[in-house]
Structure 1
Amino acid sequence: MIVTEHRSSQWYGGDDRNAYIHRAWMRRGLPPHAFDGRPHIAIANTASDLTPCNAHLNEVAESVRAGILEAGGIPLTMPVVSLGETQVRPTAMLWRNMAAMATEEMLRANPIDGVVLLGGCDKTIPSLLMAAASVDLPAVVVPGGPMLTGTFEGTPLGCGTDVWRLSEEVRAGTLSQEQFSRSESSMIRSRGHCNTMGTASTMALVAEALGTILPGLAGTPAPDSRLLEMSHETGRLAVELVQQGRRPSDILSAGSFQNAIVALAATGGSTNAVVHLLAIAGRLGIDLTLDDFDRIGSRVPLLVNLQPAGKYLMEDFHRAGGLLAVLREVRDLLDPTALTVTGRPLVDYLDDARIWDADVISARSAPLQAASGIAVLRGSLAPAGALIKPAAASPELLQHRGRAVVFDTIEDMHARIDDPDLDVDADSVLVLRGCGPKGYPGMPEVANMPLPRKLLARGVRDMVRVCDGRMSGTAYGTVVLHVAPEAAAGGPLALVQTGDYIVLDVAARRLDLDVPDAELARRVPNVATVQGFAAPRRGWERLYIDHVLQADTGADLDFLLGSSGDQVSRESH
């Protein structure tokens, strides 16, 4: 479909007073022919000095701008809410929905015909896609890309993953505080987001598998000149999207999410992708559930040898062939009809893809793990579901029965985890509650609790952990997370007591509390648990708690589900 009249003409077209005002206030460098029907393309930019992973996106935006101009469009810079995962307190996830809502409103409110979405750090790409899905203007994503690999004492460092590893070695007494501090300047070598298969890398790859990124772009390192080259091409493509009338609703389908889940499993991606994909699907009205992740992804082979589930880093992944090489190996599991922003199916881009380093990307015939997708658990402790990432877990702990050691809050955990008198052993199950969407609020990345110091000193490096919060995509361990309903929403996690036995059986997809039903029916949450739940009186946190949904449906706000369209309800002037 060729679009003959663009949306921006509702502002700029005609000779009346309103059109005069709209044009006049934009005539600060724009010539008259900028209003002659050319597509006006917003560049929604999450660059911010307080989002270090996205700080380079202003340079990327210049390449996008050049591409838009070359294709005959009018580029318009539009700063949007930026969430720095490492900087924002209490957790960036608290504001994902706010960032999505603010971006949605600005896309709808302004005279634009299409948008290029610039994201990188964990929550930025999900929030941008949620907004674009709701407004349904022609949209395309440019991911900022991972950083280059840093080294310390001759060893490559995985951003995030090695923070967890090195900090545990300090607590275990096998690494000095001085060495740990010296590694700090080596961890972040260049511009870009985490170089592990954390949430930022995962969401870029998943967004490409969804079809919202120019095929072959996701995973390109941030300092690589090819990122700017493809950003230029994306700017050109944005103009084409508007001219052809190609919107997110034309591209994103149930098959797109099938492809995203296959990509998530084959790359060993972050569990955070589950809650983000559920939220994006909710904006589109696509019926995606937790069960779909298990049904589609649980038996997909793990082909990517990257931290935290493997050895290598994103720079290696890119040189080894990247996402398209991975998807070529699992082509039979993909939906062949699912489209990309180019208007062509994703599978059309796989024929020429090749694996250039089989130690980084394995062939389908020799996978790292035969079936390693994120597993969805249910049972008496998680009636609405919970997640575990087997690829990052200890195989011997995937079937386990242990005595619960319960922490009512994050503060309680930090205060007692290293207490020499804590009644805990290697077979115990560490339980942390009050960390879900409502309870904290915002569902922080704390599920991968540090292990008790006295057990670290004995050589223990993993334990079963259960939490209603999330964990960083860069983290590892036998961690059951996203337990739903959360404790603050009346879930049974609120009733667990230290000494109860918890049974984990990943193969059977079960997570159970081995306590008689009659005993559970008599219990009520203890005072410390209830007092630990968030109780804000005002502002975004109050709005969030009053309206946030549970993790099993994406933790969006209840009034933001579904599409809103691009039309403004009232006119001004």
Structure 2
Amino acid sequence: MNKKNPQVPDENATGLRKGLTSYGDNGFSLFLRKAFIKGAGYTDTALDRPVIGIANTGSAYNPCHGNAEQLIEAVKRGIMLAGGLPMDFPTISIHESFSFPTSMYLRNLMSMDTEEMIRAAPMDAVVLIGGCDKTVPAQLMGAASAGIPAIQLITGSMLTGSHRSVRVGACTDCRRYWGKYRAEEIDDEEIADVNNQLVASVGTCSVMGTASTMACIAEALGMTIPGGATPPAVTADRMRIAELTGAQAVKMAQTGLTIDKVLTAEAIENALRVLLAIGGSTNGIVHLTAIAGRMGINIDLKALDRMGKETPVLLDLKPSGQHYMEDFHKAGGMATLLRELKPLLHLHAMTVTGRTLGEEIEAAGPGFAQDVVRTAAHPIYPQGGIAVLEGNLAPGGAVIKQSSADAGLMEHEGQAVVFENAADMADRIDRDDLDVNADDILVLKNIGPKGAPGMPEAGYIPIPRKLAVQGVKDIVRISDGRMSGTAFGTIVLHVTPESAIGGPLAYVQNGDRIRLSVRQREIALLVSDEEMARRRQAAPVVPPVAERGYKKLFLDTVTQADQGVDFDFLRAPSMKQSVPK
């Protein structure tokens, strides 16, 4: 406590003395706190140790975190072996397919929950347990704002299943088989059978979806124990990582290795490099932008695109390749990838181990023969998996996952078939009288940050049924929303500004010509400026509003995709620097 003034909090306090409840007398606050915790059976010896918080995101609604209980026990073991006192605490838990209207709508709420619980409870360091798509970015955002030593523990990917002797895993194969079902290539019985095999265990998607992308990004940022990204959820390797994570959290508390020393501009740039090289989810850009924004770092999308032109896709993983996360783990995991990317990385970037990324790559050894991570000389795709587009349809930018798109559609001009919102799309997409052909471009409005709200993964617009039964497998699609990292196709996403706030996308009409040129990094609406001005004047857009609650907070303060879809008041007051340089 502050001995000079017992009513003033001591900013240098540690352990149970940290963040004392405001009763006007710090001595009494500590006395009362110890009295209550001793009621749980703790001794003074235990209470004098460094306190390590463990963010518990286990939930019956979140099978991606179905191993949380076992992970917490392993983390506690590591903390106690290292001389710390483990204290797990709950936060909200978000699952991609169990969150209405979309998990992205709740990401910022989870980040606030994480930040405020870290601030509210006494802890010298925190272990963040997350896995499902929005949980890892939410935790890193919250921890970045809280500022104490923090380390990420990934829940891990699921095992793959088998359908009629064909290996399957969520969720690229979910979409592949559902596409077959919509095209009437498989029947009700088979789609029910495959539904039982797609998810063979608890854990996150077994392909390079958003969850796996964020796991790899967390390790690239230096926020996990080396090797922490890839062990599957139900393996002994994952439990050992959990124990090591707990022990490292104690060391971080003792040495004062706060998160700002790890989440630097160089670390963010390393993570962007990895995002490109793994053929990662387009969601990774939004999440990294939000994480960086909490640290006062701006991500320059134009510079990111330049970086992509010199960073090939090296990871042979679905949807850009053929393998699954468990194969990546057996191939050496992130160490194998980072070793190949070494000439392009900032090797002096600090990690949660207290060693640099370069030192950790060296410590991982020389590697071994495998076929999951390619060499730079023989990549899966010659450029980074994601390209950034600009043009009069997206003045603030848009993205396309070029590594999983149809090469024949990357330079394309077609006629717009417009859906005003997700409900309109659901109502019309499978109608026989839908006026559409394979050369057209599907446009979906009002699924951006404010429009939906929450920027759902509806950007993966299904192939209209009348085209699907004709054998059409891809078509150019454009929206201001997102798509799952497990998805594939020639799909333009994150169109900024979004249509709900009057972006050009709001004024696209059926029959308009649109030009997509990935080579030129252009997405253009072939309508004159005069006509666009006339349309704006004839039907001005009124942004959505809400009267109360979290929805009001969201709509009043959420930013656009190029700023991470974070709340404006949660970003750092000023952007100190931009990455990539």
- TM-score, structure 1 as length reference: 0.94
- Do the aligned residues in 2 keep the contact of 1:373 with 1:391 (CA within 8 Å)? yes
Task: Give me the CA root mean square deviation.
Answer: 1.9
Residue 451 of structure 1, CA deviation: 0.5
- Do the aligned residues in 2 keep the contact of 1:215 with 1:346 (CA within 8 Å)? no
Match of 2:255 in 1: 244
Match of 1:553 in 2: 563
Match of 1:386 in 2: 398
Structure 1 pair 298–374 and aligned structure 2 pair: CA distance change class (3 A): farther
Structure 2 residue 570 is the aligned partner of structure 1 residue 541: no
Specify the SS of the correspondent of 1:435: coil
Match of 2:176 in 1: 165
Alignment length, in residue pairs? 559
- Do the aligned residues in 1 keep the contact of 2:501 with 2:541 (CA within 8 Å)? no
Within 5 Å, which residues of 2 pair with 1:140-289?
A: 140-289=151-300
Match of 1:320 in 2: 331
Specify the SS of the correspondent of 1:287: strand
Within 5 Å, which residues of 2 pair with 1:130-529?
A: 130-351=141-362, 352-353=364-365, 356=368, 358-524=370-536
Residue 170 of structure 1, CA deviation: 1.0
Specify the SS of the correspondent of 1:317: helix
Structure 1 pair 513–353 and aligned structure 2 pair: CA distance change class (3 A): farther
1:53 aligned partner, one-letter code = C
- Do the aligned residues in 2 keep the contact of 1:428 with 1:463 (CA within 8 Å)? yes
Give the Cα separation in 1 of the matches to 2:481 and 2:365: 37
Structure 2 residue 98 is the aligned partner of structure 1 residue 87: yes
Offset from partner CA, 1:227-251 (integer Å, 9 cap, x none): 1111111111101101100001111
Structure 1 pair 296–430 and aligned structure 2 pair: CA distance change class (3 A): same
Offset from partner CA, 1:207-246 (integer Å, 9 cap, x none): 1000100111111111110111111111111011011000
Identical residues among aligned pairs (%): 45
Give the Cα separation in 1 of the matches to 2:57 and 2:149: 18
- Gaps of at least 5 residues in structure 1 are 565-573
Structure 1 pair 353–151 and aligned structure 2 pair: CA distance change class (3 A): farther
Give the Cα separation in 2 of the matches to 1:120 and 1:15: 38
Match of 1:568 in 2: none
Residue 171 of structure 1, CA deviation: 1.3
Residue 191 of structure 1, CA deviation: 1.6
Give the Cα separation in 2 of the matches to 1:563 and 1:222: 38
Specify the SS of the correspondent of 2:417: strand
Specify the SS of the correspondent of 1:318: helix
Give the Cα separation in 2 of the matches to 1:160 and 1:75: 35
Equivalent of residue 23 in structure 1, options 22, 25, 34: 34
Specify the SS of the correspondent of 1:431: strand
Residue 310 of structure 1, CA deviation: 1.2
Specify the SS of the correspondent of 2:197: helix
- Do the aligned residues in 1 keep the contact of 2:425 with 2:444 (CA within 8 Å)? yes
- Do the aligned residues in 2 keep the contact of 1:12 with 1:35 (CA within 8 Å)? no
- TM-score, structure 2 as length reference: 0.93
Residue 459 of structure 1, CA deviation: 1.4
Equivalent of residue 70 in structure 1, options 69, 81, 96: 81
Offset from partner CA, 1:122-166 (integer Å, 9 cap, x none): 011000000000011100000000011111001111301111111
Residue 350 of structure 1, CA deviation: 2.1
Specify the SS of the correspondent of 2:30: helix
- Do the aligned residues in 2 keep the contact of 1:99 with 1:127 (CA within 8 Å)? yes
